[in-house]
Amino acid sequence: MTTAFFVAADWLAEHIDDPEIQILDARMAPPGQEHRDMAGEYRAGHIPGALFFDIEALSDRASPLPHMMPRPEAFAVAMRELGVRQDKHLVIYDEGNLFSAPRAWWMLRTFGAEKVSILAGGLAGWQRDEWLLREGEEAHEGGEFEAKFTPQAVVRLTDVLLASHEKTAQIVDARPAARFNAQADEPRPGLRRGHIPGALNVPWTELVYEGELKTTDELNEVFFSHGVSFDRPIIASCGSGVTAAVVVLALATLDVPDVTLYDGAWSEWGARTDLPVEPA
Protein backbone atom coordinates (compact mmCIF):
# COMPACT_ATOMS: atom_id res chain seq x y z
CA MET A 1 0.00 0.00 0.00
CA THR A 2 1.34 3.42 -0.98
CA THR A 3 1.79 5.88 1.88
CA ALA A 4 -0.03 9.17 1.32
CA PHE A 5 2.07 12.30 0.95
CA PHE A 6 -0.30 14.09 3.34
CA VAL A 7 -2.64 13.11 6.17
CA ALA A 8 -5.42 15.28 7.61
CA ALA A 9 -5.60 16.47 11.21
CA ASP A 10 -8.79 14.53 11.92
CA TRP A 11 -7.16 11.35 10.57
CA LEU A 12 -4.14 11.85 12.81
CA ALA A 13 -6.34 12.57 15.83
CA GLU A 14 -8.19 9.32 15.18
CA HIS A 15 -4.94 7.34 14.83
CA ILE A 16 -2.81 9.17 17.39
CA ASP A 17 -2.58 6.12 19.69
CA ASP A 18 -1.85 3.70 16.85
CA PRO A 19 1.43 1.95 17.76
CA GLU A 20 2.38 1.82 14.08
CA ILE A 21 2.39 5.63 13.81
CA GLN A 22 5.14 7.94 15.01
CA ILE A 23 4.81 11.73 14.96
CA LEU A 24 7.74 14.07 14.37
CA ASP A 25 7.74 17.81 15.06
CA ALA A 26 9.99 19.40 12.42
CA ARG A 27 9.37 23.05 13.18
CA MET A 28 12.24 25.28 12.13
CA ALA A 29 12.92 29.01 12.24
CA PRO A 30 12.93 30.64 8.78
CA PRO A 31 15.84 32.91 7.75
CA GLY A 32 15.73 36.12 9.76
CA GLN A 33 14.10 34.39 12.75
CA GLU A 34 17.15 32.53 14.04
CA HIS A 35 16.59 34.05 17.49
CA ARG A 36 13.63 31.72 18.03
CA ASP A 37 14.13 28.79 20.40
CA MET A 38 12.47 26.01 18.44
CA ALA A 39 13.18 23.35 21.07
CA GLY A 40 11.57 25.66 23.61
CA GLU A 41 8.55 26.16 21.35
CA TYR A 42 8.28 22.37 21.06
CA ARG A 43 8.33 22.01 24.86
CA ALA A 44 5.75 24.79 25.19
CA GLY A 45 3.26 22.81 23.12
CA HIS A 46 3.34 19.98 20.59
CA ILE A 47 1.06 17.29 19.22
CA PRO A 48 0.85 14.51 21.84
CA GLY A 49 3.51 11.88 21.30
CA ALA A 50 5.53 13.94 18.83
CA LEU A 51 9.32 13.78 19.00
CA PHE A 52 11.35 16.88 18.09
CA PHE A 53 13.04 16.38 14.71
CA ASP A 54 15.56 19.22 14.91
CA ILE A 55 16.70 19.84 11.32
CA GLU A 56 19.44 22.22 12.46
CA ALA A 57 20.93 19.68 14.88
CA LEU A 58 20.48 16.78 12.46
CA SER A 59 22.45 18.51 9.70
CA ASP A 60 26.17 17.98 9.11
CA ARG A 61 27.77 19.93 11.95
CA ALA A 62 31.23 19.59 10.38
CA SER A 63 30.21 21.48 7.24
CA PRO A 64 30.54 25.28 7.08
CA LEU A 65 27.34 25.29 5.02
CA PRO A 66 23.90 25.27 6.65
CA HIS A 67 21.60 22.25 6.61
CA MET A 68 23.89 19.90 4.70
CA MET A 69 22.96 16.23 4.82
CA PRO A 70 24.87 14.34 7.53
CA ARG A 71 26.70 11.09 6.95
CA PRO A 72 24.25 8.17 6.80
CA GLU A 73 25.74 6.53 9.92
CA ALA A 74 25.44 9.77 11.89
CA PHE A 75 21.82 10.21 10.85
CA ALA A 76 20.99 6.62 11.80
CA VAL A 77 22.54 7.06 15.25
CA ALA A 78 20.65 10.32 15.76
CA MET A 79 17.36 8.68 14.75
CA ARG A 80 17.91 5.78 17.15
CA GLU A 81 18.74 8.19 19.98
CA LEU A 82 15.61 10.20 19.18
CA GLY A 83 13.53 7.02 19.29
CA VAL A 84 12.56 6.90 15.62
CA ARG A 85 11.68 3.55 14.10
CA GLN A 86 11.84 3.49 10.33
CA ASP A 87 9.37 0.60 10.07
CA LYS A 88 6.59 2.82 11.44
CA HIS A 89 4.43 5.30 9.53
CA LEU A 90 6.22 8.58 10.25
CA VAL A 91 3.99 11.67 10.26
CA ILE A 92 5.82 15.00 10.13
CA TYR A 93 4.52 18.47 10.84
CA ASP A 94 5.83 22.03 10.98
CA GLU A 95 4.20 25.18 12.27
CA GLY A 96 1.73 25.22 9.40
CA ASN A 97 3.54 27.03 6.61
CA LEU A 98 4.94 23.91 4.90
CA PHE A 99 8.37 25.52 5.21
CA SER A 100 10.35 22.78 6.94
CA ALA A 101 8.26 19.58 6.99
CA PRO A 102 9.18 18.80 3.35
CA ARG A 103 12.89 18.95 4.25
CA ALA A 104 12.35 16.44 7.07
CA TRP A 105 10.26 14.29 4.68
CA TRP A 106 13.04 14.41 2.09
CA MET A 107 15.79 13.61 4.60
CA LEU A 108 13.94 10.60 5.97
CA ARG A 109 13.05 9.31 2.51
CA THR A 110 16.61 9.81 1.25
CA PHE A 111 17.95 7.86 4.23
CA GLY A 112 15.63 4.91 3.66
CA ALA A 113 12.38 5.50 5.55
CA GLU A 114 9.57 4.29 3.30
CA LYS A 115 6.37 5.32 5.09
CA VAL A 116 6.55 9.08 5.56
CA SER A 117 3.66 11.57 5.44
CA ILE A 118 3.20 15.25 6.25
CA LEU A 119 0.36 16.61 8.38
CA ALA A 120 -1.69 18.86 6.11
CA GLY A 121 -1.91 22.31 7.65
CA GLY A 122 0.75 21.53 10.23
CA LEU A 123 0.47 22.59 13.85
CA ALA A 124 -1.65 25.62 12.95
CA GLY A 125 -4.22 23.37 11.27
CA TRP A 126 -4.18 21.00 14.24
CA GLN A 127 -4.91 23.89 16.59
CA ARG A 128 -7.50 25.35 14.25
CA ASP A 129 -9.40 22.08 14.54
CA GLU A 130 -9.12 22.46 18.34
CA TRP A 131 -7.13 19.30 18.98
CA LEU A 132 -5.07 19.29 22.16
CA LEU A 133 -1.36 19.97 22.61
CA ARG A 134 1.03 18.56 25.19
CA GLU A 135 3.81 20.39 27.03
CA GLY A 136 7.28 19.21 28.00
CA GLU A 137 9.34 16.37 26.59
CA GLU A 138 8.11 12.98 25.39
CA ALA A 139 9.39 9.80 26.99
CA HIS A 140 10.57 7.32 24.40
CA GLU A 141 12.49 4.11 23.97
CA GLY A 142 15.49 3.74 21.71
CA GLY A 143 14.61 3.65 18.04
CA GLU A 144 15.53 1.30 15.24
CA PHE A 145 16.96 2.94 12.14
CA GLU A 146 19.43 1.68 9.56
CA ALA A 147 20.22 4.35 6.99
CA LYS A 148 19.87 3.24 3.38
CA PHE A 149 21.19 6.32 1.64
CA THR A 150 19.97 7.19 -1.86
CA PRO A 151 22.98 9.08 -3.27
CA GLN A 152 21.27 9.88 -6.55
CA ALA A 153 18.78 12.10 -4.68
CA VAL A 154 21.50 14.66 -3.91
CA VAL A 155 23.68 16.62 -6.32
CA ARG A 156 26.86 18.55 -5.62
CA LEU A 157 28.24 21.82 -6.91
CA THR A 158 30.10 20.17 -9.79
CA ASP A 159 26.87 18.55 -11.00
CA VAL A 160 25.07 21.89 -10.90
CA LEU A 161 27.91 23.67 -12.68
CA LEU A 162 27.72 21.08 -15.46
CA ALA A 163 23.93 21.39 -15.67
CA SER A 164 24.18 25.17 -15.83
CA HIS A 165 26.83 25.11 -18.54
CA GLU A 166 25.72 22.15 -20.64
CA LYS A 167 21.94 22.41 -20.02
CA THR A 168 21.83 18.74 -19.00
CA ALA A 169 19.16 19.51 -16.38
CA GLN A 170 16.84 22.33 -15.37
CA ILE A 171 17.82 24.18 -12.20
CA VAL A 172 14.69 25.23 -10.29
CA ASP A 173 15.36 27.85 -7.61
CA ALA A 174 12.73 28.08 -4.86
CA ARG A 175 13.86 31.41 -3.39
CA PRO A 176 11.63 34.51 -3.51
CA ALA A 177 11.73 36.36 -6.83
CA ALA A 178 13.42 39.44 -5.36
CA ARG A 179 16.39 37.39 -4.17
CA PHE A 180 16.53 35.36 -7.38
CA ASN A 181 16.52 38.56 -9.46
CA ALA A 182 19.22 40.26 -7.35
CA GLN A 183 16.76 42.87 -6.10
CA ALA A 184 17.17 41.94 -2.43
CA ASP A 185 20.03 40.86 -0.18
CA GLU A 186 20.32 37.30 1.00
CA PRO A 187 19.37 36.76 4.67
CA ARG A 188 22.74 35.12 5.26
CA PRO A 189 25.76 37.46 5.26
CA GLY A 190 28.55 37.12 2.72
CA LEU A 191 26.44 35.86 -0.17
CA ARG A 192 26.18 37.55 -3.54
CA ARG A 193 22.89 38.55 -5.06
CA GLY A 194 21.42 36.77 -8.07
CA HIS A 195 21.08 33.19 -9.24
CA ILE A 196 22.83 30.30 -10.98
CA PRO A 197 23.02 31.02 -14.73
CA GLY A 198 20.11 29.45 -16.59
CA ALA A 199 18.09 28.69 -13.44
CA LEU A 200 14.31 28.97 -13.40
CA ASN A 201 12.58 30.66 -10.47
CA VAL A 202 9.64 28.85 -8.85
CA PRO A 203 9.19 30.54 -5.45
CA TRP A 204 8.18 27.84 -2.99
CA THR A 205 5.34 29.97 -1.62
CA GLU A 206 3.62 29.73 -5.02
CA LEU A 207 3.28 25.97 -4.48
CA VAL A 208 1.63 26.25 -1.07
CA TYR A 209 -1.76 27.36 0.24
CA GLU A 210 -2.56 27.37 3.97
CA GLY A 211 0.14 24.87 4.85
CA GLU A 212 -0.71 22.40 2.10
CA LEU A 213 0.40 21.93 -1.47
CA LYS A 214 -1.94 23.43 -4.02
CA THR A 215 -4.06 21.14 -6.20
CA THR A 216 -2.53 19.08 -8.97
CA ASP A 217 -3.91 21.41 -11.64
CA GLU A 218 -2.60 24.46 -9.80
CA LEU A 219 0.85 22.93 -9.33
CA ASN A 220 1.02 22.01 -13.00
CA GLU A 221 0.13 25.59 -13.91
CA VAL A 222 2.74 27.08 -11.57
CA PHE A 223 5.56 24.97 -12.98
CA PHE A 224 4.37 25.49 -16.56
CA SER A 225 4.13 29.26 -16.11
CA HIS A 226 7.76 29.38 -14.97
CA GLY A 227 9.00 27.34 -17.92
CA VAL A 228 9.64 24.02 -16.18
CA SER A 229 9.42 20.90 -18.33
CA PHE A 230 8.56 17.57 -16.70
CA ASP A 231 10.32 15.74 -19.54
CA ARG A 232 13.83 16.85 -18.55
CA PRO A 233 15.84 16.26 -15.35
CA ILE A 234 15.27 18.80 -12.58
CA ILE A 235 17.65 20.00 -9.88
CA ALA A 236 15.90 21.83 -7.03
CA SER A 237 17.79 24.57 -5.21
CA CYS A 238 17.05 27.42 -2.79
CA GLY A 239 18.95 29.30 -0.08
CA SER A 240 20.15 26.40 2.07
CA GLY A 241 18.40 23.26 0.85
CA VAL A 242 15.23 23.59 2.93
CA THR A 243 12.56 25.05 0.64
CA ALA A 244 14.07 23.21 -2.33
CA ALA A 245 12.45 20.19 -0.67
CA VAL A 246 9.05 21.86 -1.18
CA VAL A 247 9.77 21.76 -4.92
CA VAL A 248 10.87 18.12 -4.68
CA LEU A 249 7.71 17.22 -2.75
CA ALA A 250 5.43 19.03 -5.20
CA LEU A 251 7.06 17.29 -8.16
CA ALA A 252 6.81 13.93 -6.37
CA THR A 253 3.06 14.40 -5.95
CA LEU A 254 2.90 15.03 -9.71
CA ASP A 255 4.87 11.82 -10.32
CA VAL A 256 7.65 13.71 -12.09
CA PRO A 257 10.78 11.52 -12.49
CA ASP A 258 14.47 12.45 -12.28
CA VAL A 259 14.29 15.14 -9.59
CA THR A 260 17.30 15.85 -7.37
CA LEU A 261 18.21 18.43 -4.72
CA TYR A 262 21.29 20.66 -4.63
CA ASP A 263 22.14 20.51 -0.95
CA GLY A 264 24.72 23.31 -0.92
CA ALA A 265 22.22 25.61 -2.65
CA TRP A 266 22.82 29.36 -2.79
CA SER A 267 24.67 29.25 0.53
CA GLU A 268 27.45 27.48 -1.35
CA TRP A 269 27.16 28.96 -4.85
CA GLY A 270 26.56 32.53 -3.71
CA ALA A 271 29.59 32.47 -1.41
CA ARG A 272 31.97 31.52 -4.23
CA THR A 273 33.44 34.46 -6.15
CA ASP A 274 34.84 32.11 -8.80
CA LEU A 275 31.39 30.95 -9.97
CA PRO A 276 29.18 32.75 -12.50
CA VAL A 277 26.07 34.56 -11.34
CA GLU A 278 23.11 36.10 -13.14
CA PRO A 279 22.36 38.95 -13.45
CA ALA A 280 26.10 39.59 -13.97
Domain spans, the chain = 6-149, 152-269
Q: Quote the strand ranges of 170-224, DSSP E.
A: 170-173, 200-201, 208-209, 212-213
Catalytic residue numbers? Answer: 238
> Using H for helix, E for strand and C for coil, what is the string for 14-71?
HHCCCCCEEEEECCCCCCCCCCCCHHHHHHHCECCCCEECCHHHHCCCCCCCCCCCCC
Residue 24: the pLDDT is 99
Tell me whether the CATH fold assigned to 6-149 matches the one assigned to 152-269. Answer: yes
Phi, psi at 6, each rounded to 5° = -130, 150
**Over its length of 280 residues, how does the chain's per-residue pLDDT go in tens digits?**
468 999 999 999 999 999 999 999 999 999 889 899 999 999 999 999 999 999 999 999 889 899 999 999 999 999 999 999 999 999 999 999 999 999 999 999 999 999 999 999 999 999 999 999 999 999 988 899 999 999 999 999 999 999 999 999 999 999 999 999 999 999 999 999 999 999 999 999 999 999 999 999 999 999 999 999 999 999 999 999 999 999 999 999 999 999 999 999 999 999 999 999 999 7
Specify the CATH superfamily of domain 6-149: Rhodanese-like domain (3.40.250.10)
Whether domain 152-269 has CATH 3.40.250.10: the reply is yes
Q: What is the DSSP letter of 234?
A: E
> In sequence order, what are the beta bridge partners of 25?
52, 93
Helix (H, G, I), strand (E, B) or coil at 199: coil
Please state whether the peptide bond connecting residue 279 to the residue before it is cis, i.e. omega within 30 degrees of 0. Answer: yes
Residue 228: the pLDDT is 99
> Whole-angstrom Cα distance, residue 237 to residue 100?
14
